[in-house]
Amino acid sequence: MAKKSTVFEKERALLEQKRAILGDSTVDLDTLKSHYSELCNAYEELLEQAEFITRTSDKLEAKLAQANEQLRKYNEMLSQEAEKEKREKEMVIEKSKKIVQEKREIDVRMNRLQLVLVLIIAILVIIILFFIYYAFINPAKLKEIQRAVGVDPDAAI
């Protein structure tokens, strides 16, 4: 047999006692009034306890609702912050991608420019070597080239 709850044990005992008195036909009116008064007093005490518990429960419920509302606001704020951070992170990633792309484009341009500069320098070196060869090593050949081009080799520069 399972043990019954003992939360209202005192009240249950009082109720059983008063029911037993109601069942007794030999009890006089004054005794019934006395027991009825005890029952009313016990009911009043129980009612006061219920009111107290209800008030306390209402206050706790209000505090819980307030805490839930505060948590909801914090969650909303955190969600907004997380979304803001996510957008900022995506912007940084996009900017980084653009910078990397721009760097690649600049590198390609620089490589082309370096190649052009090397070619120009090579052509200039060849031209300079050509003039050195014909001016100092074989001046007769230079005059021959000048005549072929249509320039007077004896004219003063």
7 Cβ partners below 8 Å, 6+ apart? none
143 Cβ partners below 8 Å, 6+ apart? 153
Rounded to whole angstroms, what are the CA distances from 104 to 100, 113, 114?
6, 14, 15
Domain residue ranges of the chain, discontinuous segments joined by +: 9-149
Instruction: Name the nearest CA neighbour of 80 among 92, 72, 95.
Output: 72
| pLDDT for 4 | 60
Which tens digit of pLDDT belongs to each residue from 30-82? 888 898 898 899 999 989 999 999 999 999 999 999 999 999 999 999 999 99
Q: Give the DSSP H/E element, type plus range, for residue 106.
A: helix 29-132
Which tens digit of pLDDT belongs to each residue from 143-156? 787 888 888 877 75
Q: Is the dihedral angle over the CA atoms 8, 9, 12, 14 positive or is it negative?
A: negative
d(CA 133, CA 156): 20
pTM: 0.49
Instruction: Name the nearest CA neighbour of 134 among 125, 126, 143.
Output: 143
